[in-house]
Structure 1
Amino acid sequence: MNTGTNRLYFIVIINMKIRCHQQDCSEKAITISYTTRVKNTTCKLNIPNVNGLCISVKVNPEECGNKKQSPPLEISIPPPPVRLVKNMSFEYSHDRLKCTWDSDVDVPDLGFYYWYKEMVKKCNVMKIGECVIHDTFLKDMTEMFYLFNGTYKGQPVNNTFRHNSSTYFVKLKKPQLTIQSIGQSLHFHTDFTDSEFGAHCYEKNYIYSKCDEVNHRIMSYSEYKVDYDSSCKYRARVQIIFSSDCGEGKSDLSDEVEYGENRDSNLPALLAGIIIPLMLSCFLIVSLVLLRRHKDIIFPKIPEPTLIFKDMFINNIRTAEDLRVNCAASHYSLVSQSENV
């Protein structure tokens, strides 16, 4: 073993199995390994305890001659007697983390704490089933540990939980979408003002329908262009997705925006096939009515030939008689004139 100014260090190797559903440790349990270099045999770790733990610890002294790694020390930690909370959920936005949970047990003195580096901080903005944490460090943490404590049936109970960083629970603001027709294209434009993270962390999920056919498109740009079909109605919404490169989260869908109307491409021919026969039918009906009403004018009666000849014969007889009468009258007039002379 080195002496003098050399300081003895230990390599502590910890293999830890987190029990699944409060069962005994098995191959199905989640295994977590830590290796750390310490000046003494004391090592502190933040770990969840709600399902109990099975821990194996080995110590390996550095530069210590013939000293070898210690045999593993097996430690079993049973789960707490009761689980104080369940169904934990989180929403993060702008240095604000909202934590919510449910509980099946009555713990009037329930307390909620969270770890920051080596400090344990109490949540002061707390109400039933909810706590809001305001801190600038939240988005810089790689993982979060939470402690719930209280008294249950006269016994103190501690529940510790481990969850992902706050950036995996990002709740983004609701965007706005506008549609503009430019030439033969429709432009979907997203108005989004949330800029807490870099621009590369935001993706736009455009959900739109063309003639009731739904399409999806995820992209990083604030504007998306599609070909415009004037016979189709377009409906569109947009959702902001927090990129997996930065964490996880999303916004609510924007309000739906509509553009255009659905029209059948065969509608003109269909209308022509309906309207033209209908117009012809109406014209024919009107023509028949007018013809019936004015048939004597349009089609005057033609007298029978026998009647024509009869009229002609009668007219000829009348003409001869008139001539005879006229002649007799003339003769009488001449005789009268001669006698007077």
Structure 2
Amino acid sequence: MALTRELFSFLLCTAMNTVYHCEATAPPPPPTGLNYRWLDPFTVNVSWQRPRGLQDGEDLYMYRDQTDKSPQTVHSSCTIWRYFTDSFLTEEMGSDRRTYHVWTVGSKSCGYHLNKSTSVPITVHTLKPRAKVKDFKCLINATGMNCSWSPENKPMDLYWVLGNFSKELKKCDRPYSSALRSGCYLNVNAVNNDIYILLDTGAAFSTFKPVLEIPSPKLNISAVGDKFNLSWPPPVVGTYCHWVYEVCYKKCNEPKVCLNFTPPGEPVQMPYDERCRYEFQSRARTSPYVKEIFSGFGDVVSYGTDKPPDKTLMVVAIVVPIILSACIILSCYCFRRHRSIICPTIPDPSAIFKEMMNGNKDFKTTTGSLYTPVPEPVQPCKILLATV
């Protein structure tokens, strides 16, 4: 009887623990009533209602942007509030809409993702369709900046804001237009502050953070011995920046070569071949550790002249073999013509000794004859007797 009571108690506790565990791990309800509103043309606010059955502070919420992104590049954000704000730049997104996913996390820490609700999507549309802008540039100088675009675009109004988006959006008050470019002069310091641009055609707009460009610094070149000295005046803006200079050059008929230099305030050097004419182009950009500012390539700077190559070695390489060949041919010809003098026929010694051993005095050589002297003429001598 005692065993039965203990078994019943064990089964009852097990069942209670199972029910409690299942209730504790049940996923929380998802957010409801997702909505959004634009705080300004750059910033959107997404909000939702508290899930049913939950009180404030019982759960956290997570959200992420999944617009045209792979799962490997999606990052989630956590909040204790039932809303979040996000910046929306159409040129960065490449569209006029963005999709967010929001879900409830049942734990007290956003690092714990096992106990979470199903995600609820919401698609955010911009206030106007996205406008396509071609060839937009912002050239900065010591007094301000000149932002311009291709005149192929529809007539547009330019608005700008510095720093965060909570500041007042300002409209360009110094516009200009020409056959080459349309744009606006802005009296702002874009080097020390972030600037955001809104271009509005009326029916559509485009929002973006412009890339800042400076005039190309002038390249100074001088030659000392077999070295070039290259130097640039400091840019008129961003004097505190760490500048990197890219130099591209061509010499003689060789392909173009590009080099990067970070001059420490003194001219940089590179090899110089005085036989070649050089054509240089250079541009400047900030180092990767500071705000991105760059320039385009400047005008082509020429130095030196192309000199005709030294043909001495080529002449030697051609003439010397010809002379040697002619000498060899003449030598062979002379040898063949005067072979009997240069290399006379020598009697075979074995034949001479063989005849001597056989006692034949009138031996003959097998390959030639011995020298025979020419007989001298003999005159007859007459003796006359003298008469007394």
Length-normalised TM-score, structure 2: 0.49
Q: Which residue of structure 2 lines up, in the alignment, with residue 235 of structure 1?
A: 278
Cα deviation, residue 105, structure 1: 7.7
Q: Does 1:216 align with 2:258?
A: yes
Aligned to 2:289: 245
Deviations 1:195-234 (A, max 9, x none): 633676322223334433243322212534344544x123
Whichever structure has more helix as a proportion of its residues is: 1
Letter in 1 for 2:260: I
Q: Which amino acid aligns with 1:175?
A: K
Distance 2:305 2:200 in 1: 59
Which of 185, 195, 198 does residue 147 from structure 1 map onto? 198
**CA deviation map 1:269-292 (0-9, x unaligned):** 86xx9xxxxxxxxxxxxxxxxxxx
Output one character per residue of 1:163-208: Cα deviation in whole Å (capped at 9) or x when no partner.
Answer: 3xx5x433243313222233xx232322322163367632222333
- Are 2:207 and 1:161 aligned? yes
Deviations 1:245-274 (A, max 9, x none): 33252343244132254132116986xx9x
Amino acid at match of 2:77: T
- Which residue among 136, 139, 150 is the counterpart of 2:189? 136
Amino acid of the structure 2 residue aligned with 1:215: V
What is the letter of the counterpart of residue 294 of structure 2?
G
Provide Cα deviations, 1:64-89, integer angstroms capped at 9, x if missing partner.
9xxx7665331123466644342252
8 Å CA contact retained: 2:133, 2:206: no
Contact 2:96 2:129 in 1 (8 A): no
CA shift in 2, pair 1:266/1:250, >3 Å: same
Note if 1:116 corresponds to 2:170. Answer: no
Query: In structure 2, how many angstroms separate the alpha carbons of the residues matched to 1:48 and 1:203?
Result: 29
Check conservation: 2:158, 2:197, Cα contact below 8 A.
Answer: no
Which residue is equivalent to 2:120? 73
Task: Assess if the C-alpha contact under 8 Å between 1:205 and 1:241 holds in 2.
Answer: yes
The total of aligned residue pairs comes to: 242
Inter-partner Cα distance in structure 2 for 1:104 and 1:261: 43
Q: Does 1:45 align with 2:86?
A: yes
Partners of 1:11 and 1:137 in 2: how far apart?
39
Q: CA deviation at 1:235?
A: 1.1
User: What's the CA shift for 1:148?
Assistant: 3.7
- Residue type of the alignment partner of 1:98: N
1:302-341 → structure 2 map (5 Å cutoff): none
Matched, 1:180 2:230: no
Q: Percent identity?
A: 7
Distance, in Å, in 2 between the alignment partners of 1:196 and 1:33 is 36
Q: What is the CA–CA distance in structure 1 between the aligned matches of 2:129 and 2:237, rounded to whole Å?
A: 39
Q: Name the SS of the counterpart of 1:233 in structure 2.
A: coil
* Root-mean-square deviation over aligned CA pairs: 4.3
Q: 1:90 to 1:199 in 2, by over 3 A?
A: same
For the residues of structure 2 that align with 1:61 and 1:134, how far apart are their CA atoms? 51
Residues 268/196 of structure 1: CA separation in 2 closer, same or farther (3 Å cut): same
TM-score (norm 1): 0.54
CA distance 1:29–1:170, shift in 2 (3 Å): farther
| Structure 2 contact 280–301 (Cα < 8 Å) conserved | yes
1:309 — aligned with what? none
1:239 deviates by: 1.0
Residues 190 and 145 of structure 1, relative CA distance in 2, 3 Å threshold: same
Q: Secondary structure at the match of 1:44?
A: strand
